[in-house]
């Protein structure tokens, strides 16, 4: 899986995660004239950006957990295969030793 595909999945997931949570209605019209309205608008934008970052962060954490689980499973397989290889090698050595003796 390429880095571009991973990035695209993260962005797609972050954009889709907003659909599950109801978003506040967006105000249509001209920007507010007073400072307090502008500050509220900026704070609302920051909150939306923070929600987006939180969604991406949660997705990355979930992906890391899946990756760690896959690594543990792979490590178990590797140890099992190594044990099997050692058992086969020992069996061959013992059989060869018995045949030559």
> pLDDT digit string (tens) for 42-61?
899 999 999 999 999 999 99
- Give the rounded distance of the alpha carbon of 51 from its chain centre: 17
Q: Mean pLDDT lowest for which of 10-24, 50-64, 87-101?
A: 10-24
30/89 Cα distance (integer angstroms): 79
Residue 19 has pLDDT above 80, yes or no: no
Is 53 in contact with 60 (CB distance < 8 Å)?
A: no
Sign of CA dihedral 28, 33, 38, 39: negative
pLDDT for residue 39 = 86
Confidence tier at 33 by pLDDT (50, 70, 90): confident
Look at the block and give the residue holding tokens 């972050």.
Answer: 14
pTM exceeding 0.75: no
Average pLDDT, integer, range 63-72: 96
């Amino acid at each position: 899986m390429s880095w571009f595909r991973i990035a695209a999945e993260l962005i797609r997931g972050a954009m889709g995660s907003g659909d599950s949570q109801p978003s506040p209605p967006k105000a249509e019209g001209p920007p507010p004239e007073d400072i307090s309205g502008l500050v509220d608008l900026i704070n609302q934008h920051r909150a939306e950006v923070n929600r987006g970052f939180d969604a991406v962060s949660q997705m990355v954490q979930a992906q890391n957990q899946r990756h760690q689980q896959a690594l543990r499973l792979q490590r178990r397989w590797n140890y099992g295969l190594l044990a099997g290889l050692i058992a086969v090698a020992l069996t061959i050595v013992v059989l060869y030793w018995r045949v030559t003796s």
